Amino acid sequence: MRKQLNSNEEAELLKKFRNKATKQTAFVECLGFFQIPIYWHIRRIVISHADADDLSQNTFIKVWEKIDDFRADSKLYTWIYSIATNEALQFLKRKRQVQSLHAADNDEYLLNTLKTDPYFNGNQLQQSLQEAILSLPEKQRLVFNMKYYENLKYEEISEILQTSVGALKASYHHAVKKIELFIQKKLS
């Protein structure tokens, strides 16, 4: 589970970002705090280690470029997660366009990437769970990953995905039911 910045820590970090003399220090602190959770958030979306690594770097480049425009209407991590989510989804969209893939073909591509990933070291049950997650529609997959793996609150996911809490709860519920059915079929 990730540790969240408390209000004072976030205010201090933003204060450092606003000061030219301490902006680089703040960025290094930001990387130290968010780099690993953001990498895993993106990795769960795009599956591939290399793609997740590149997209994480792109995310933090955008954070560096746009931090002066951050108005603190939301929490800093929510803002960074939004950037990361958009980077990952845009990457998948571009990949579909380049390869002229339909959504089902893209899901098959992600599943094949998972199966051949040299960095995946899970057991058969973990493999089945990942396959079940990949079988979900994109929005349900995002909501499930954010809630299950990252333990985000529905209100936080709502800010990141710009979706109502009620819709998110329904998406999560449907995702869990589909995963349960997938695993049951796989085990029987």
Give, in words, the CATH class of 122-188. Answer: mainly alpha
- Fold equal for 1-119 and 122-188: no
| Mean pLDDT (whole number) for 11-19 | 95
Q: Model's pTM, two decimal places?
A: 0.81
pLDDT at 108: 61
Over 90: is that where the pLDDT of 188 sits? no
pLDDT (tens digit per residue) in 55-72: 999 999 999 999 999 988
pLDDT (tens digit per residue) in 18-61: 999 999 999 999 999 999 999 999 999 998 999 999 999 999 99
| Domain range annotation of the chain | 1-119, 122-188
83 touches 55 (CB < 8 A): no
pLDDT at 69: 94
pLDDT at 1: 41
Tokens of residue 100, six digits: 């002229």
Q: Which CATH architecture has domain 1-119?
A: Orthogonal Bundle (1.10)
Over 60: is that where the pLDDT of 170 sits? yes
pLDDT (tens digit per residue) in 96-148: 777 665 555 555 665 566 555 655 455 566 777 888 998 899 999 999 999 99
CB < 8 Å & 24+ apart, contacts of 141-144: 141/45, 141/175, 142/45, 142/85, 143/168, 143/171, 143/172, 143/175, 144/171, 144/172, 144/175, 144/176, 144/179
